[in-house]
Each structure stands twice: as structure tokens, then as C-alpha cells.
């Protein structure tokens, strides 16, 4: 445990940020899985679910939870999957 006052505060801040980031990442995974499942099953709301997932990915990248290139890659994969599912119909 740190003895320095500023480090104690920094540890508290880091823990808060870690928990917040963990929640955001968890939601990202959930939204992405939902979007992929909707796309694969050919659900009517696949476009809307994918749009919501992309929105969350963008927000996470803006807030610095994930890197912008990671966000771009994930969005690209989602959109590619959606496009191929729509072409298959």
C-alpha cells in the first residue's frame, strides 16, 4: 500500500476508471455478440442492432477505452458481416 498521499488518491482514481472501463468493455462485447447473432439469424432488426453496436464502439474509442484502430477494425468486421448477410438474402 502506498504511503504518499497523491499516490493513494491516484490508486483510488485508477480503480474507479478500471471499473468504468470494465463496464464499457462488457457492454461492447454484449452489443457486438447481439449484432452478430441478429445478422447470422437474419433478424429484421439486424441493421438497428448493428448500428447500436457501432455507436457504442465509437463512444468507447472516443473515451479512450479502446484504441481508435481497434474500433475501426471491429466496426469494419461488423459491417462486412451485415453486408454479406444482406446480400445472401
For the stretch 39-71, pLDDT in tens is 999 888 999 999 999 999 999 999 999 999 999
- Distance of alpha carbon 84 from alpha carbon 19, whole angstroms: 36
In degrees and rounded to multiples of 5, residue 7 shows phi and psi of -70, -35
Domain total for the chain?
1
Quote the pTM value: 0.86
74: domain range?
Answer: 46-89
Please report which confidence band the pLDDT of residue 1 belongs to, taking 50, 70 and 90 as the band edges: confident
What confidence score (pLDDT) does residue 88 get? 81
- Is 54 a member of any domain? yes
Q: Is 22 inside a domain boundary?
A: no
Write down the pLDDT at residue 55.
Answer: 97
Answer whether residue 60 is part of any domain.
Answer: yes
What confidence category does residue 17 fall into, taking pLDDT thresholds of 50, 70 and 90? very high
34 lies in some domain? no
Residues 50, 62: Cα–Cα separation, whole Å: 18
Amino acid at each position: 500500500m502506498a504511503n504518499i498521499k497523491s499516490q493513494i488518491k491516484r490508486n483510488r482514481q485508477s480503480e474507479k476508471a478500471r471499473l468504468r472501463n470494465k463496464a464499457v468493455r462488457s457492454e461492447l462485447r454484449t452489443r457486438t455478440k447481439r449484432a452478430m447473432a441478429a445478422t447470422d439469424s437474419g433478424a429484421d432488426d439486424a441493421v438497428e442492432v448493428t448500428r447500436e453496436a457501432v455507436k457504442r464502439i465509437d463512444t468507447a474509442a472516443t473515451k479512450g477505452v479502446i484504441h481508435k484502430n481497434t474500433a475501426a477494425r471491429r466496426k469494419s468486421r461488423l459491417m462486412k458481416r451485415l453486408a454479406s448477410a444482406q446480400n445472401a438474402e
